């Protein structure tokens, strides 16, 4: 069978990145090889995100751009998966008539069959069944050889929290944890293929295993910490209502666990937190931050904030700005609220006008920028351990030969550090832990000077 080419385009979160990797793996036995250009593809798969309106618009504009290509190449197959596929189901066929398949978030495991059906019968296939069999966490070995230093590993799917603004429980289904043996097997295989860092993914890793009676998340981390050859462990996301003391202590006790926690607060006003159904108060959240910093003084804390949730008054918003200043986050993601189909807040009254949402968003980002820069500047003069994961700009000498190469990596606290190195040494540093003294600080990165490689 001659090789056919598949182009996978991913929109959205890390979980989608992981799912797209699984999609590529699943299609390999059908003879599909990855391509980086839509023009050489026999099959194009779009993995979509529905978290905010903007992400959904991105999906439809990508599909719109494919219309011409499909007309020129009628044999080209185009499939749409992910959260928008789950949310819209067969309505997508009406909006984008040239699609061959729509598969939901629970249908990834069945994708090979779906694609075979399209290939053989040239029919349109729709599979948005979230409960059908054939989408287990385990995929058969062997795992592919990895080209990257750092990889995502999904440890949970779905969400049971029903925050009122959020579409995730509706498009990703009920929370479901993967067995520790299966997670460890995958991580061990990744390490064998050269991976040095894993990020464990779940909508709320703090409730890992509770429903199924598996081990706790902190216990899972302890097991991952023992995987030989793995340098670093990260995880995301933590819901503040379930952050346990056991997990806080993991930051102190597990040597490979990176000192960074993403702890989305969403709002600093108790009134809004209640309307969001977040199930914690501002004081409880601030208490968690205090405890975390007492247990692990260096821990970096980042967060998500929604600007202009329905009913958010200027006073509520001021409480959010005040919380940002009180916590002094290491980094922050902020979003203007958008209505999502199926999420209760879409039906809430007192909508904040779009312009005002955007204004508040800008205000949040402005306040945070000073903190990010200040915290980055505090790094100057410190020697940091960095896991090297990228090679970017090259500096050429006058005769065209390469003198120095710019490489990059991250600190344990997840700050990006760029440093220059000899071109002869560069390749051998990829995937290695190095030490660098921080010399300069910017808003999104640091510049360091290599002091040791080990
Ligand atoms: N509007 C704006 N932001 C949202 N988020 C989730 N749903 C919405 C929405 N409807 C944000 C939250 C969440 C992050 C992943 O996306 O801050 O933590
Ligand atoms: Fe959405 Fe809330 Fe679940 Fe996060 S915890 S995925 S915000 S419902």
Residue ranges of alpha helices (H) inside 204-244 are 217-225
236 Cβ neighbours under 8 A, 6+ residues apart: 14, 199, 200, 201, 205, 262
Residue at token pair 């959904």: 56
Closest ligand, as measured to the CA of 309 = 1
Select from 12, 13, 16, 52 the residue to mutate for testing ligand 1; criterion: most ligand atoms less than 8 Å from CB. 52
299 by DSSP, 3-state: which? coil
Per-residue pLDDT tens listing for the chain (454 residues): 578 999 999 999 999 999 999 999 999 999 999 999 999 999 999 999 999 999 999 999 999 999 999 999 999 999 999 999 999 999 999 999 999 999 999 999 999 999 999 999 989 999 999 988 888 787 665 555 567 899 999 999 999 999 999 999 999 999 999 999 999 999 999 999 999 999 999 999 999 999 999 999 999 999 999 999 999 999 999 999 999 999 999 999 999 999 999 999 999 999 999 999 999 999 999 999 999 999 999 999 999 999 999 999 999 999 999 999 999 999 999 999 999 999 999 999 999 999 999 999 999 999 999 999 999 999 999 999 999 999 876 666 666 666 788 999 999 999 999 999 988 888 889 999 999 999 999 999 999 999 976 5
**Distance separating alpha carbons of residues 443 and 318, to the nearest angstrom:** 24
Single out the residue of 307, 164, 155 nearest to residue 234, CA to CA.
155
Please report the atom of ligand 1 found closest to the CA of residue 305.
17
Single out the residue of 432, 430, 431 nearest to residue 452, CA to CA.
432
The pLDDT of residue 3 is 85
Q: Which residues line ligand 1 (CB under 6 A)?
A: 51-52, 165-166, 264, 266, 304, 306, 335, 337-338, 340
Residue 68: which H helix or E strand, with range? helix 53-72
Compute the C-alpha angle 113/117/123, nearest 5°. Answer: 145
Please report the atom of ligand 2 found closest to the CA of residue 160.
3
- Helices 354-377, 314-327: crossing angle, 10 deg rounding: 10
Q: Could you tell me the distance, in angstroms and rounded to a whole number, from the CA of residue 411 to the centre of ligand 2?
A: 28
Please report the atom of ligand 2 found closest to the CA of residue 159.
3
Q: Could you tell me the distance, in angstroms and rounded to a whole number, from the CA of residue 303 to the centre of ligand 2?
A: 13
**Does the C-beta of 166 come closer than 6 Å to ligand 2?**
yes
Select from 161, 163, 165 the residue to mutate for testing ligand 1; criterion: most ligand atoms less than 8 Å from CB. 165
Residue nearest to atom 4 of ligand 2 (CA): 203
The pLDDT of residue 21 is 92
**Distance separating alpha carbons of residues 258 and 261, to the nearest angstrom:** 8
The pLDDT of residue 129 is 93
**Does the C-beta of 278 come closer than 6 Å to ligand 2?**
no
Closest ligand, as measured to the CA of 262 = 1
Distances in Å between the alpha carbon of 354 and those of 335, 359, 444? 12, 9, 28
At 403, list the tokens. Answer: 């003198």
Residue at token pair 């993403």: 262
For the chain, the residue count is: 454
**Does the C-beta of 239 come closer than 6 Å to ligand 2?**
yes
Closest ligand, as measured to the CA of 13 = 1
Q: Which residues pair with 436 in a beta bridge?
A: 384, 450
The pLDDT of residue 423 is 83
Residue at token pair 């955007």: 358
Closest ligand, as measured to the CA of 306 = 1
**Distance separating alpha carbons of residues 399 and 54, to the nearest angstrom:** 47
Contact (Cβ atoms closer than 8 angstroms) between residue 148 and residue 199: no
The pLDDT of residue 134 is 83
- pTM: predicted TM-score of the whole model, two decimal places: 0.94
213-241 in b/e burial notation, b at 16+ Cβ within 10 A? ebbbbbebbbebeeeeebbbbbbbbbbbb
The pLDDT of residue 141 is 59
**Does the C-beta of 169 come closer than 6 Å to ligand 2?**
yes
**Does the C-beta of 47 come closer than 6 Å to ligand 2?**
no
Please report the atom of ligand 1 found closest to the CA of residue 333.
17
The pLDDT of residue 322 is 98
Q: Could you tell me the distance, in angstroms and rounded to a whole number, from the CA of residue 427 to the centre of ligand 2?
A: 40
Please report the atom of ligand 1 found closest to the CA of residue 340.
10
Contact (Cβ atoms closer than 8 angstroms) between residue 232 and residue 196: yes
Please report the atom of ligand 2 found closest to the CA of residue 162.
8
125 Cβ neighbours under 8 A, 6+ residues apart: 100, 101, 102, 103, 114, 117, 118
Residue 102: which H helix or E strand, with range? strand 101-103
């Amino acid at each position: 069978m001659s090789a056919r080419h598949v182009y996978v385009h991913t929109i959205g979160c890390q979980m989608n990145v992981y799912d797209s990797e699984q999609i590529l793996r699943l299609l390999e036995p059908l003879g599909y090889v990855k391509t980086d250009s839509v023009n050489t593809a026999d099959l194009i798969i779009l993995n979509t995100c529905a978290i905010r309106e903007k992400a959904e618009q991105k999906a439809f504009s990508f599909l719109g751009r494919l219309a011409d290509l499909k007309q020129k190449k009628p044999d080209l197959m185009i499939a749409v998966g992910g959260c928008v596929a789950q949310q819209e189901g067969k309505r997508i066929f009406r909006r984008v008539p040239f699609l061959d398949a729509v598969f939901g978030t629970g249908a990834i495991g069945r994708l090979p069959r779906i694609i075979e059906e399209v290939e053989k019968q040239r029919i349109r296939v729709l599979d948005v069944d979230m409960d059908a069999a054939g989408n287990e966490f385990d995929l058969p070995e062997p795992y592919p050889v990895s080209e990257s230093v750092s990889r995502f590993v999904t440890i949970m799917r779905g969400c049971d929290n029903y925050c009122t603004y959020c579409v995730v429980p509706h498009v990703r289904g009920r929370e479901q944890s993967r067995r520790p043996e299966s997670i460890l097997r995958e991580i061990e295989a990744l390490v064998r293929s050269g991976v040095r860092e894993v990020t464990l993914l779940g909508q709320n890793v703090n409730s890992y295993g509770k429903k199924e009676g598996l081990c706790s998340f902190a216990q899972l981390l302890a097991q991952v910490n023992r995987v030989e050859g793995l340098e670093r462990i990260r995880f995301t996301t933590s819901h503040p209502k379930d952050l346990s003391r056991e997990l806080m202590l993991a930051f102190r006790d597990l040597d490979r666990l990176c000192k960074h926690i993403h702890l989305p607060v969403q709002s600093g006003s108790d009134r809004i937190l209640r309307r969001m159904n977040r199930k914690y108060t501002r004081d409880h959240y601030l208490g968690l931050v205090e405890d975390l910093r007492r247990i692990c003084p260096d821990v970096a804390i980042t967060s998500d904030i929604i600007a202009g949730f329905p009913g958010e008054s200027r006073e509520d918003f001021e409480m959010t700005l005040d919380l940002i200043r009180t916590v002094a986050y290491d980094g922050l993601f902020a979003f203007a609220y958008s209505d999502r189909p199926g999420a209760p807040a879409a039906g809430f009254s007192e909508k904040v006008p779009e312009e005002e949402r955007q204004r508040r968003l800008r205000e949040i980002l402005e306040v945070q920028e000073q903190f990010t820069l200040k915290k980055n500047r505090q790094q100057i003069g410190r020697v940091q351990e960095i896991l090297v994961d990228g090679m970017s700009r090259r500096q050429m000498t006058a005769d065209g030969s390469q003198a120095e190469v710019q490489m990059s990596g991250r600190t344990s606290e997840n700050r990006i550090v760029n440093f220059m190195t000899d071109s002869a040494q560069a390749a051998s540093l990829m995937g290695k832990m190095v030490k660098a003294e921080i010399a300069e600080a910017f808003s999104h990165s640091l510049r360091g000077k290599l002091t040791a490689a080990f």
